Structure 1
Amino acid sequence: MDILLATSNPHKLIEVKAILEPLGFTVIGLDAFEDTYAEPVEDADTFMGNAELKAKGYAKMTNVRCLADDSGLVVDAIDGRPGIHSARFAGVGETRDERDEANNQLLLTELAGVPDQDRTARFVCAMCLAEPNGTIVAQSEGTFEGVIAREPSGANGFGYDPLFYVPDAGVTSAEMSSEEKHSRSHRGNALRSIAKHLSQ
């Protein structure tokens, strides 16, 4: 069964394929279509609201069952920011890598005076699966708890992964193997719930 993952982020596509394809699903990205589709406006004020908008929008546009996620980093010491604005937190950068670098630098700046014990944070991933007619058939939410490190470390992730330290693992998310990250991450947790629905 084909499932469209509503993302142009190659890192997300790799993560989702690693979890769903062993279960017998073929995961395709937006780049599988010759047409360029206008990205649905993500103007909801929650992760799940934005995931729903993307899933419904792309499912209707492509006529393919669509899985969409909205993910972000929630940092307790700065009132839950960057939250739903995680990807564009700093508001600068031409490329994805430049935006990631700027976002990480801004986060470190905002947390400069915050002691280690107050740097708690979590990644949140809301996922939504929609049929081509726009009907939502499954939703899930996963979280991944950690703290914000004082400097980036690791190269196996993207976004805020180099700053997201996982105390019980003793490494940042970007220092984990792909297998360990998939078994612990917010996206992995949300995906496993969706996979159970798909397998019924």
Structure 2
Amino acid sequence: MTLTLERGQKLVVASHNEGKVRELRTLLSPFGLELVSAAELELPEPEETGSTYQENAELKALAAAKAANLWALADDSGLSVDALDGAPGIYSARWGGPERDFNNAMVKVHTELMQKGAMGPGQRTADFVAVLCLATPEGESACFEGRVSGTLVWPPRGDKGFGYDPMFLPEGHNRTFGEMTEDEKHAWAPDKIGLSHRSRAFSKFVKACCIG
């Protein structure tokens, strides 16, 4: 399905996660859209009952679009650790407990890897996955997935980004996402693959939705 955004159009960033909202605002800034977050509109957060990133992204986008009567863009993303059979995956935020404390979540990932004896770099491989979903109040939607592979390091390094960024070392790099600026993580171009999972999903979104 092709959904086309126009410059000047008002778009809801369907998230209450300040880190995600900030990153999506950065990515969307060149395109002349009028952005407002779900938190700013005081929209309720829907329960994430999907079993995949795509299902949860679509659920959030459709809920925000219908509640605000505006087009909405949602993100569902997470860390998939090979030695943990893909966990924490869609439950990445919930591994931080009720407060979504990602310091605790990173400790939990590291502890589970230790318990499995997965201490070498080749045993600590993981993917960051992001799915963006654009939805209309009428119930139309389109989803786009981005993925980046890397290795988990311990202790975490860097204080930039959010979530699991400080323990994720992307393939081919010597700095974690937590040590990179937003420009380094998210830089993209129509003819160039971005580094972060979110920028890779965003590149597909831009091409499909004809903005820019």
**TM-score, normalising length: structure 1:** 0.91
Q: Give CA deviations for 1:49-93 in whole Å, capped at 9, x if unaligned.
A: 00111111110011010001110000000100000100011435x
What's the CA shift for 1:173? 0.6
What's the CA shift for 1:168? 1.3
Q: What amino acid is the match of 1:21?
A: S
Pairing 1:19-38 to 2, within 5 Å after superposition: 19-33=27-41, 36-38=42-44
Q: Is the 8 A contact 1:141 1:190 kept in 2?
A: yes
Task: Tell me the distance in 2 between the aligned counterparts of 1:55 and 1:18.
Answer: 19
Task: Tell me the distance in 2 between the aligned counterparts of 1:194 and 1:51.
Answer: 13
**1:134 aligned partner:** 139
In the alignment of these two chains, the number of paired residues is 193
Q: Is the 8 A contact 2:16 2:45 kept in 1?
A: no
Q: Over the residues paired in the alignment, what is the CA RMSD in angstroms?
A: 1.4
Work out which of the residue numbers 99, 111, 114 in structure 1 matches 2:113.
111
Task: Tell me the distance in 2 between the aligned counterparts of 1:78 and 1:171.
Answer: 23
**1:62 aligned partner:** 68
Unaligned runs of at least 5 residues, structure 1: none
Aligned-pair identity (%): 41
Q: Is 1:16 aligned to 2:21, yes or no?
A: no
> By percentage of residues, which structure has more helix?
1
Task: Tell me the distance in 1 between the aligned counterparts of 2:185 and 2:96.
Answer: 26
Pairing 1:1-200 to 2, within 5 Å after superposition: 1-33=9-41, 36-92=42-98, 94=99, 96=100, 99-112=101-114, 113-114=117-118, 115-136=120-141, 138-183=142-187, 184-199=195-210
Deviation beyond 4 Å, 4+ runs, structure 1: none
What's the CA shift for 1:159? 0.6
